[in-house]
Structure 1
């Protein structure tokens, strides 16, 4: 799922949270009865249910920014806006704030509903697909579909960041829209995997199993029961010790947690932050930034390196997992792997197939009510989750206990959530008192993670049924109050003017609703690219890849190729899982840098095996005789000339060796390279040819990957797995990404996080390539992929670069 807010203001150096708040800011005006912003979710005027939030459109260049599609999808409903007028009796000129005397206060009625079908993960090769809807009301105009050059119409395919229209008016307030996100119950279960059940926040049950594994994203949350082993001093061993409360060999004081608590692990831009919470979700102590030297002594590290380490734990994660694996004795290492540790440290559990000791300890330093201690986060009785689980302890809860089908909130669970916590307030469950609570900061925070079931407010057929309670509670003080009857009549006409008779059935049945800003912030952490989203990342036309049709792009990501050097099937799932493992999942910038390099290395995903015959691989990576070198020099169209092997530098100029010079020098060069690659047996050149999305080459490098995974990739026929298995092809590339030999063993993500400037692309290229071969192609690929993944409007097609879109 790739998603962005309906307005895209310039980020201007803002953090993700600050930028989303600016992009989806609610109006400054407040309701007198609640002191909450107009159009709040899920409750608004008179404690009535409200489908979404009102957003005040940001400005740019003196005008309001356009409303844009939040994700790829299909338009399922459109209503063109009525032209504003000054007729005070017009239903759209209704002013709810001056109902006694009709006054002009226009409300725009342009409306667009988009159905979004996407993926959030996969179990094996079976993707987890979800369907949800976004609706934007109160548009002043409907934009043109880029394909038809006509206003958006039902059935039009829409892409993320396409313009849908311009913001209109809400009760005379310019530049505002109503925005909502909803789904049906089946898709609520797909999204959250916890069902629609309400959980009592005052008595949350302890978990009894780990969370979902098909979708894992964002922060990791680990439940620690009372009795979880802790150590007051730095643990030495990395295994749970039998008959030891602390499980830490050599610990000076070992004990256990007295009370259950939670720990959140979050990684961003190299920094790993650990935050503790009690069993109710209240923060415990202060958050802290992890350091590899909290767990391994690092006797050879300088004080400066140790002091900087809390800012780079994520970048150091490959080294950390090797530290822990390497600290084991030889027999235990046989049942372990750095890759298994890598997943344990990132996810709190090993999601992959690589070996990890059954009694592996996951020591991390965390805050507890009695101070900071080392805790085994993998102790027996601990359970692991992520943001994909929508945890109740983190505030997510479902509300469907309203016994009525109108839009008046009669949910006891909701009222209990927002009521005054002071039991001495005898009126705290009264509607007027509850409404006053909606403006309170702590209440508004709680409501952001409320997932609520109630009817659609845009269905004209149910207007009177939904709002009948207002007739008696607000518009009429008695049954024969003529003034009240007139007010009610004006309101009903207004409600009819803002509702529709022909809404799609699926949209009306999507009656589970999320806070749009909270949904946006949470699901942007998902980062799993659906097949059609990923297929767009290969340009239809480019200098680097020439032309790639939509069908061909789908084929390369989904089906692979039966050709000997082609891609294996299910590459799009494999890439997503590898992105998740190595910290690229929720970073559009990292993904853009990585994919642009892979596209160049693989000829736009046409091959992931180095091509050539036995003579080529022997000549390049194994052994060559002087006579063969002379033959290569004679072949002006051959490999030696194409790869520039026959040239050397003289006075800064590239000069070709003579035939005799090349025949004398090349065998020694090949021998040196073969030794550096560890190619010591006959056939190693071909056996350990370049494979994977960033091609791994040579016996020593295959052996290194073998040791990392704890699996056999050096004995025939297993070396071929690096190209034949999609996950291995992606994993071996990203293993290099986090431990680049050309980058002194450091993580290339450190460079990628620096930004999108040309200099950064060059640094990433040097780390991947060892030089700047085909830098111009890598720059072109990056610019294209980044324009699709980032949060700026997509640039128009050019003669050199054409956007990939689904063929119809």
Structure 2
């Protein structure tokens, strides 16, 4: 999606340098069709302007909406930022494009002030209004005759320091973080002179280590330090590698990301084979390069993790990334070697007069323009300097890409404080208003009318921290962590009785945060633990998260219980032993229930009584329920129910814990971390029985099918390993359609009209 949006960025108004060498901390987006502008996240309205008409001669539009957003990127990691949408279409021109405004929030239906046609409408304070992600907040307008949207993303200094003070931003020699923050891609920094092996030590004659096959590489050492990027997509693992020169410039050693097919789908298999001491910790080593769970069980010697890396042009070998000399980071750290730069005093191409110097800019972007760097400019006038700089920025894709990583400490162009100082150079010789003071004053008056900072309630005259909006969105889309508010929204306000029924906003939040003690038991803080589990087991896309929640909401009666319902007789006769007498009683008194569960299969009473007890005994044997009382003892527990002694025992082996001795089975229903983690374990360890073709091939890991699609057939296929059949399939489909609209990017709801969007009371 972001690749598509990238194509809409115009070559003028380039972030963060305007054509006149001043700060321009936004981007200009011009889609290939006229349409609605949507909010990028849930937010509070800080300020807005709704115009009845265009300004001036009619070639420009001054409507805007400024939003404040607050979310989480981890436990206790609050992120507060602002987004601005400028040059929105005036009301009088809606009919030109067939718009009627019915999709807009009510507060955007009328002008924020009355002025003569052609004048600038006053801006208004937010007034407590809120918008949801994907809400329409206006329509694409124009400025000076060009159709485009000016978009900004920025943070206030206090919010910026509170968040980025815990990252590696600005640290040229980052270390492996002591915190547990992790999301997005994984990065390794490998010092020069490290040994690479053709195969991991200990592989056998068939190139296998504990049954896991490795492709043969080359033995050698790296002459320069390396930066390694790894990430997963649809089951494959991808690796990029750069060598780093002494001046910090990078050379890409992998023309295309090196792909290892099915690597992610097979992580459970690899972890159980390679890390017998603790497969759960090994799973994290394979995914993150370090263990995030506490306490770590794997010893340093048992943590060896061999990954294949291109260490020189055309040469690949294996290196153990558990080595402490290799630093492990992620997108949560904003590493400088991936292009993130703080541009502020002492590290800025902008001089005290607010104008950008091309030579200073060239030093900051380093190798971005490569051999295409311009010769030293001989420009002397302001116009010549502006043209030279504009040509340099527009003419080099590498430069523009490097500028996307700039995080700029700069004044807002919408704050009138200091206008006279900021634009004084326009009166200098060679300046646009040289010798035209009347025109200059007219410009300042117009500028103050278009500016709106005085109604925002934000402090004036303060520098803000700006991000390239598309780079910001692209980066944070890699973070799959959902805040409590976002999690609460996934529970529909109203759905069918067998799905969730009626759930108020406060109740939705309570179930995710405080748990539930009605109609079952849900431990507190399940929302935080689900987020952690998602990070560990690779629920990195909205599609995967949606498939998971659709199943979990049905399994737990919309987060009300982590324990399978029933009495001791039910669990004994389902999972342990059923007598002929009990089979007859069930046939006589529970005939409809037996039919709905698929147990009758058209059999008459005598046939059912003769066959059903043996079926239960065979099932109990397969579940490992061989001790009296195992049926109720190992009933279904967890967000996705683990059921039977064998399942509890196998999960215990994975976690190096014993969940089979009394009272440890209760941990799968009472302990939030275990409740969530056991569901992730279930998801990646289960076998998908699918047609053995293409993306639908059979194999371990339910992600295989979640990655395929969003249709009813996919929901049904995933229901089979989760439920053992198709019980509650209609409700699972209903949940899926609702949640996918909430978490996904579709602007039109997919769910039935009976499912209402969960919203704050």
The TM-score bracket by the shorter chain reads 0.7 to 0.9
* CA distance in structure 2 between the partners assigned to 1:642 and 1:521 by the alignment: 47
The match for 1:41 among 3, 9, 15 is 15
The answer as to whether partners of 1:184 and 1:511 remain within 8 angstroms in 2 is: yes
The answer as to whether partners of 2:104 and 2:138 remain within 8 angstroms in 1 is: no
Residue 9 of structure 2 corresponds to residue 26 of structure 1: yes
* CA distance in structure 2 between the partners assigned to 1:742 and 1:550 by the alignment: 36
The answer as to whether partners of 2:685 and 2:701 remain within 8 angstroms in 1 is: yes
* Matched residue, 1:318: 268
Query: Which consecutive residues of structure 2, in runs of 5 or more, have no partner in the other structure?
Result: 92-100, 113-125, 205-213, 690-697
Indicate how the Cα distance of structure 1 residues 147 and 497 shifts in structure 2: closer, same or farther if over 3 A, else same: closer
For residue 118 of structure 1, give the secondary structure of its aligned residue in structure 2. Answer: strand
Query: How far does residue 591 in structure 1 lie from its aligned partner after superposition?
Result: 1.0
Deviation readout 1:469-498 (Å, 9 max, x if unpaired): 2232554686xx2xx324323422331232
Residue 81 of structure 2 corresponds to residue 132 of structure 1: yes
Indicate how the Cα distance of structure 1 residues 644 and 369 shifts in structure 2: closer, same or farther if over 3 A, else same: closer
Indicate how the Cα distance of structure 1 residues 76 and 405 shifts in structure 2: closer, same or farther if over 3 A, else same: farther
Deviation readout 1:251-288 (Å, 9 max, x if unpaired): 99866444321111111111111111123343124445
Residue 456 of structure 2 corresponds to residue 504 of structure 1: yes
* Matched residue, 2:233: 268
* CA distance in structure 1 between the partners assigned to 2:558 and 2:611 by the alignment: 35
Deviation readout 1:371-420 (Å, 9 max, x if unpaired): 11111122131110111111100110101115877643469864632588
Query: How far does residue 83 in structure 1 lie from its aligned partner after superposition?
Result: 1.3
* Matched residue, 1:396: 340
* CA distance in structure 2 between the partners assigned to 1:582 and 1:134 by the alignment: 32
The answer as to whether partners of 1:285 and 1:369 remain within 8 angstroms in 2 is: no
* CA distance in structure 2 between the partners assigned to 1:260 and 1:395 by the alignment: 17
The answer as to whether partners of 2:169 and 2:335 remain within 8 angstroms in 1 is: no
Further displaced range: 364-373 or 159-168: 364-373
* CA distance in structure 2 between the partners assigned to 1:111 and 1:779 by the alignment: 39
The match for 2:152 among 161, 167, 180 is 180
* CA distance in structure 1 between the partners assigned to 2:632 and 2:708 by the alignment: 38
Further displaced range: 439-448 or 626-635: 626-635
Further displaced range: 68-77 or 37-46: 37-46
The answer as to whether partners of 2:81 and 2:154 remain within 8 angstroms in 1 is: yes
Indicate how the Cα distance of structure 1 residues 564 and 552 shifts in structure 2: closer, same or farther if over 3 A, else same: closer
The answer as to whether partners of 1:418 and 1:437 remain within 8 angstroms in 2 is: no
* CA distance in structure 2 between the partners assigned to 1:736 and 1:473 by the alignment: 72
Indicate how the Cα distance of structure 1 residues 411 and 577 shifts in structure 2: closer, same or farther if over 3 A, else same: farther
* Matched residue, 1:551: 506
* Matched residue, 2:25: 51
Query: How far does residue 345 in structure 1 lie from its aligned partner after superposition?
Result: 0.7
Query: How far does residue 147 in structure 1 lie from its aligned partner after superposition?
Result: 6.6
Deviation readout 1:88-142 (Å, 9 max, x if unpaired): xxxx43xxxxxxxxxx4632111211000100111xxxx2111100011111247
Q: How does 1:462-481 map to 2 (within 5 A)?
A: 462-472=418-428, 474-475=430-431, 481=435
* CA distance in structure 1 between the partners assigned to 2:507 and 2:519 by the alignment: 18
The match for 1:518 among 444, 453, 471 is 471
* CA distance in structure 1 between the partners assigned to 2:578 and 2:459 by the alignment: 69
* Matched residue, 1:416: 363
* Matched residue, 2:648: 702
For residue 648 of structure 1, give the secondary structure of its aligned residue in structure 2. Answer: coil
The match for 2:196 among 208, 230, 254 is 230
Query: How far does residue 574 in structure 1 lie from its aligned partner after superposition?
Result: 1.1
The match for 1:751 among 701, 705, 710 is 705
For residue 666 of structure 2, give the secondary structure of its aligned residue in structure 1. Answer: helix
Residue 182 of structure 2 corresponds to residue 216 of structure 1: yes
Indicate how the Cα distance of structure 1 residues 628 and 319 shifts in structure 2: closer, same or farther if over 3 A, else same: same
The answer as to whether partners of 1:565 and 1:607 remain within 8 angstroms in 2 is: yes
Further displaced range: 347-356 or 784-793: 347-356
Number of residue pairs the alignment of both structures matches:
698
For residue 737 of structure 2, give the secondary structure of its aligned residue in structure 1. Answer: helix
Q: How does 1:328-343 map to 2 (within 5 A)?
A: 333=276, 336-343=277-284
The answer as to whether partners of 2:64 and 2:84 remain within 8 angstroms in 1 is: yes
* CA distance in structure 2 between the partners assigned to 1:625 and 1:424 by the alignment: 88
* CA distance in structure 1 between the partners assigned to 2:23 and 2:354 by the alignment: 5
Indicate how the Cα distance of structure 1 residues 374 and 738 shifts in structure 2: closer, same or farther if over 3 A, else same: same
Query: How far does residue 678 in structure 1 lie from its aligned partner after superposition?
Result: 0.3
Indicate how the Cα distance of structure 1 residues 501 and 738 shifts in structure 2: closer, same or farther if over 3 A, else same: closer
Query: How far does residue 624 in structure 1 lie from its aligned partner after superposition?
Result: 2.8
Residue 543 of structure 2 corresponds to residue 578 of structure 1: no
* Matched residue, 1:277: 242
Query: How far does residue 573 in structure 1 lie from its aligned partner after superposition?
Result: 1.0
* Matched residue, 1:89: none
The answer as to whether partners of 1:685 and 1:698 remain within 8 angstroms in 2 is: yes
For residue 455 of structure 2, give the secondary structure of its aligned residue in structure 1. Answer: coil
Indicate how the Cα distance of structure 1 residues 253 and 416 shifts in structure 2: closer, same or farther if over 3 A, else same: closer
* Matched residue, 1:610: 564
* CA distance in structure 2 between the partners assigned to 1:274 and 1:476 by the alignment: 50
* Matched residue, 2:543: 589
* CA distance in structure 1 between the partners assigned to 2:444 and 2:359 by the alignment: 28
The answer as to whether partners of 2:493 and 2:503 remain within 8 angstroms in 1 is: yes
Residue 324 of structure 2 corresponds to residue 355 of structure 1: no
Indicate how the Cα distance of structure 1 residues 474 and 710 shifts in structure 2: closer, same or farther if over 3 A, else same: farther
Further displaced range: 614-623 or 41-50: 614-623
* CA distance in structure 2 between the partners assigned to 1:358 and 1:196 by the alignment: 25
* CA distance in structure 2 between the partners assigned to 1:731 and 1:73 by the alignment: 31
Indicate how the Cα distance of structure 1 residues 276 and 197 shifts in structure 2: closer, same or farther if over 3 A, else same: closer
For residue 74 of structure 2, give the secondary structure of its aligned residue in structure 1. Answer: strand
Residue 420 of structure 2 corresponds to residue 452 of structure 1: no
The match for 2:447 among 495, 507, 510 is 495
The answer as to whether partners of 1:228 and 1:379 remain within 8 angstroms in 2 is: no
The answer as to whether partners of 1:145 and 1:156 remain within 8 angstroms in 2 is: no
Further displaced range: 404-413 or 219-228: 404-413
The answer as to whether partners of 2:686 and 2:701 remain within 8 angstroms in 1 is: yes
Query: How far does residue 452 in structure 1 lie from its aligned partner after superposition?
Result: 0.3
* Matched residue, 1:97: none
The answer as to whether partners of 1:461 and 1:501 remain within 8 angstroms in 2 is: no
The answer as to whether partners of 2:517 and 2:560 remain within 8 angstroms in 1 is: no
The match for 1:158 among 122, 131, 141 is 131
Q: How does 1:82-101 map to 2 (within 5 A)?
A: 83-84=53-54, 92-93=55-56
For residue 680 of structure 1, give the secondary structure of its aligned residue in structure 2. Answer: coil
The match for 1:73 among 43, 52, 56 is 43
Indicate how the Cα distance of structure 1 residues 77 and 467 shifts in structure 2: closer, same or farther if over 3 A, else same: same
Indicate how the Cα distance of structure 1 residues 413 and 572 shifts in structure 2: closer, same or farther if over 3 A, else same: farther
* Matched residue, 2:747: 793
The match for 2:628 among 682, 685, 691 is 682
The answer as to whether partners of 1:405 and 1:454 remain within 8 angstroms in 2 is: no
* CA distance in structure 2 between the partners assigned to 1:177 and 1:149 by the alignment: 17
The answer as to whether partners of 1:196 and 1:400 remain within 8 angstroms in 2 is: no
Indicate how the Cα distance of structure 1 residues 584 and 212 shifts in structure 2: closer, same or farther if over 3 A, else same: farther
The answer as to whether partners of 2:217 and 2:317 remain within 8 angstroms in 1 is: no
* CA distance in structure 2 between the partners assigned to 1:477 and 1:149 by the alignment: 37
Query: How far does residue 17 in structure 1 lie from its aligned partner after superposition?
Result: 4.1
* CA distance in structure 2 between the partners assigned to 1:713 and 1:190 by the alignment: 41
* CA distance in structure 2 between the partners assigned to 1:666 and 1:395 by the alignment: 65
* Matched residue, 1:648: 601
Query: How far does residue 163 in structure 1 lie from its aligned partner after superposition?
Result: 0.6
Deviation readout 1:665-722 (Å, 9 max, x if unpaired): 3332221111110011122111111011111100001111111112221222111111
* CA distance in structure 2 between the partners assigned to 1:352 and 1:751 by the alignment: 27
Indicate how the Cα distance of structure 1 residues 465 and 727 shifts in structure 2: closer, same or farther if over 3 A, else same: same
